[in-house]
Amino acid sequence: MKLLLDSTRCQGYGLCQEPAPELIELDDWGYAGLSATEVPPRGEDAAEAAVAACPNSALRLVK
């Protein structure tokens, strides 16, 4: 499973990082960046929570 970020949609709400701190980092302005795109099995729940938390649909998971 891969976590993908469309940076053009990210508005810097920062809501995605809390459920998935191992996968997502925020810059000084709150915009998301991916620490990892390949999601380990133990991180799948966190990745799904991060996708659900984003109000701008900037994150998605692909298998």
C-beta closer to ligand SF4: residue 32 or 46: 32
Q: Which of 3, 46, 47, 58 binds ligand SF4 (CB under 6 A)?
A: 58
Q: Cβ 22 to ligand SF4, closest distance in Å?
A: 15
Looking at residues 5 to 44 of the shown chain, list those that interact with ligand SF4 (rule: CB under 6 A): 10-16, 31-32
Cα 8 to the center of its chain, rounded Å: 14
Burial class (CB in 10 A: 0-12, 13-18, 19+), 47: buried
C-beta closer to ligand SF4: residue 4 or 38: 4
